[in-house]
Amino acid sequence: MTTINDEQNICDICAEKHTKRGGGIKITCQKCYRGACRKCCETYVLDESSVRCMYPDCGEEWSSLFISSSFSNGFITGALKRHRESIYVEREKALLPATQGRVIEIIREEKNKELVREFRVAKKEVVRQYVREYFVEKEKMCTYHDWIVKDPSGVVSNDLGKFWVAPTASKVVLGEFSVDRKAHTMRDVFGDKCKSIIEKVDRCCDKSPSSIGRRVKLMLSNHDVPVPDYVILGALLVRKGAQWIPPGGYAWKETMKPVIKKLKKVRDQKCSVLLQTYISSRTRATPARVREKTVHRFVRACPCDGCKGYLSTAWKCGLCSTNACSKCHVALTDVDDIHECDPDVLATAQLIAKESKPCPGCHINITKIDGCNQMWCTQCKTPWDWKSGRIETKVHNPHYFEYLRTRGAEAVVADRNPAEIRCGRDINHEFVISLTFIFNRLAVPPSDPMYVNVFSMLREFAHFSNFDIRYDIGDSPNAENLRVCFMREMITEVEFKRRVQMLYKKFYKETEIRDVSVMFKQTMTDIMYRYRDELDRAETTEDIANANEILNEVEGLKNYANACLKDIASAFQSRPIVIRIRGVSRI
């Protein structure tokens, strides 16, 4: 942010002369280094969906720190805040149709919970009024019997047939026999006649088990079913033929009918909800935060001048319909004509095809020298994988390279050595064990200050990596609960707009804090691995001292990360977060 001087007191956009009070502060883009007066930038920003550079060939989106340092606080908390609220609300309102299904599910679940609550209340009332009296009266009117079972030799068995005998007419059902100490069903003993041996036995109030047994045998003999003496009647079940009416008549049944009906309705609805949830979970698309972006298959950009199209796998442009040679990549004027490739152009094309691949975003050719397979296109800012050609969803943090640039060009070249910085490494238990073996080989005792400080730093860093970094932040803020409340008229539109703005502000703040924290973690990991490799090659005391010089970078890295976190707190007007990992300057 610089002040317009007398020689350049004319804005490139409005071509008017401004005073400092009237907005004569020039805002310069950090990427293209072109700018305009603050008033023109404010006017442009309020007409766009994001705060970015107004030049079309740049379009760089400005960070929150740049916005807070370039624009006035009144504009940020006033017009820009209201503009962002409107954009965020319109974005969330566009998702209201997709949220309707979730609203219906929530309403259905609430109704189900209310039905269950009503059922429990009614059931408790029924139990309180009738169940206790029912069991008291039943104990008075019924008698419990233990039927002594004997085997053919007359010895009493350990198994006792237990049953209830009601004083009214009942049905005697013969369930199972025991023949020669082996269980047999009715069909096994009586064949097809088992369906007709169930009859009513009047006056089953005789408490003598032998009397009941004689009645059952008599019933079977009436059906021409011989019952040998060695057949033992077991598992005799006496079903009540007449319904016993508790005190109050059938009032309890009438009371329970609507309750049972509601319960059945609740169960049906729950089954329907579970079925719909299962079907939707099986057919639902993969979430956007883990979905791999689909890459359209293009081989390279169109070779024609002025054309912004791309060549398909058939080497034909989709915009200008120009065909190109698949060998030398030269545009063909006529497909039917015989084309002869220029040897020099062919050699160049073969070299490019061998050592470079097209970016899946802008299809510009990118050459890989060595190192990590994750590529970063400087033109369209697209991260992609060198082997698969697919766009990456997890990006290595750009703050890392910004930190390297603050240390000078020589440090950037040194730290970008692919042999020293490799992806997929972490400070884990194996790293600590390997570092312990190296210290033992160098005869460094655990009481040595270097030993104590290094492992104390690793312990603090492990706590920071596993507990202080927020990894649960998605690619976009989730305002589904706010949309549900807004659709159900639980909050007003003014409150909805305010909460959405707060949600987006919190999301952007946490995202920037996470990026700085991940940058610190990755860079710290690279420093510790370089320290371990250098210490592993050490043979003398001087070599150990040279390896310890690498650890001095930790203090500078921590100061840089804390400065970034302080700038983020200043931009969002919040309390800064401080990384408290002790350096090893005392070594």
Is residue 361 located within the same domain as residue 466? no
Roughly what angle, to the nearest 10 degrees, separates helices 493-536 and 480-487? 170
What is the token pair recorded at 318? 């989709």
Does residue 206 sit in the same domain as residue 137? yes
Q: Are residues 353 and 243 in the same domain?
A: no
pLDDT of res. 163: 38
Position 215 scores a pLDDT of 55
State CA 169 to chain mean position distance.
65
Total number of domains in the chain: 4
Is 400 inside any structural domain?
no
Contact 97, 104 (CB under 8 A): no
**Same domain for 435 and 552:** yes
Domain final residue, candidates 235, 257, 284: 284
Amino acid symbol at 262:
K
Phi, psi for 119 (deg, rounded to 5)? -65, -45
Per-residue pLDDT of the chain in tens (587 residues, 90 and over written 9): 444 444 456 777 776 665 555 555 778 887 887 778 888 888 888 887 778 888 878 877 787 778 887 888 788 888 888 888 888 888 887 777 677 777 777 887 787 777 777 767 766 766 666 656 555 555 554 444 434 444 444 444 444 333 333 333 333 334 344 444 444 444 454 555 544 444 433 333 344 444 545 555 565 565 555 554 434 343 333 333 333 334 444 444 555 566 666 666 666 665 665 565 555 554 444 444 333 333 345 566 667 775 545 676 677 765 566 788 878 878 887 766 677 888 888 888 887 777 777 776 656 677 776 666 777 776 556 677 776 666 665 555 454 455 555 554 444 434 443 333 345 578 888 888 888 888 888 888 888 888 888 888 888 888 888 887 776 676 677 888 888 888 888 888 888 888 888 888 888 888 888 888 888 888 888 888 888 888 888 888 788 888 888 888 888 888 888 998 888 888 888 888 888 887 554 44
Tokens of residue 1, six digits: 């942010």
| Residue 289 in domain | no
Are residues 271 and 130 located together in one domain of the fold?
A: yes
Name the residue type at position 305: D
- Please tell me whether residues 264 and 129 are part of one structural domain: yes
Say yes or no: 269 and 316 in one domain. Answer: no
Q: Within a domain: residue 162? A: yes
Count the Cβ atoms, other than its own, within 10 Å of residue 442: 19
pTM: 0.51
**Under a CB-based contact definition with an 8 Å cutoff, are residues 329 and 321 in contact?**
no
Tokens for 488, please give them: 């159900």
Amino acid 219: pLDDT: 55
At 388 the pLDDT is: 67
320 and 259 fall within a common domain: no
Q: Which domain holds residue 43?
A: 2-93
Cα separation, 384 vs 353, in Å, equals 18
Q: Which of 342, 361, 392 is the last residue of a domain?
A: 392
Is 155 found in the same domain as 270? yes
Burial (CB < 10 A; 0-12, 13-18, 19+), residue 539, is exposed
Pairing type for strands 182-185 and 170-179 reads antiparallel
Radius of gyration of the chain (CA): 42
Taken in order 504, 510, 514, 516, the sign of the CA dihedral is positive
Mark whether 244 and 165 lie in a shared domain: yes
Does residue 292 lie within any of the structural domains?
no
Residue 307 confidence (pLDDT)? 56
Q: Which amino acid is at 2?
A: T
- pLDDT at position 61, please? 79
Residue 294 lies in a domain: no
Q: Which phi and psi angles does 319 have, rounded to 5°?
A: -100, -55
Q: Please check whether residue 333 is in contact with residue 325, taking contact to mean a CB–CB distance below 8 angstroms.
A: no
3-state class (DSSP) for residue 468:
helix
143 and 269 co-located in one domain: yes
Give me the pLDDT at residue 42, please.
82
Does residue 101 belong to any structural domain of this protein? no
Q: Which residues contact 566 (CB under 8 A, 6 or more apart)?
A: 576
Of 97, 120, 116, 108, which is closest to residue 272 (Cα–Cα)? 108
CATH of the domain at 66: 3.30.40
Distance CA 185, CA 197 (A): 13
Main-chain dihedrals φ then ψ at residue 236, nearest 5 degrees: -80, 120
Q: What are the residues whose beta carbons fall under 8 Å from the beta carbon of 583, sequence distance 6 or more?
A: 457, 551, 552, 554, 555, 558
In order, the DSSP letters of 79-119 are IIHHHHHHHHHHHHHTTHHHHHHHHHHHHHHHHHHHHHHHH
Among candidate residues 231, 256, 284, the one where a domain is terminated:
284
Q: Give the H/E segment covering residue 146.
A: strand 143-150
Q: Is residue 477 part of a domain?
A: yes
The three-point CA angle 500-501-507 to 5° equals 90
- Sign of the CA dihedral running 492, 494, 496, 498: negative
Half-sphere exposure at residue 9, Cβ-oriented, CA atoms within 13 angstroms: 8
d(CA 531, CA 552): 10
**pLDDT attached to residue 584:** 55
Is the Cβ–Cβ distance between 534 and 546 less than 8 Å?
Answer: yes
Could you tell me if residue 582 is inside a domain?
no
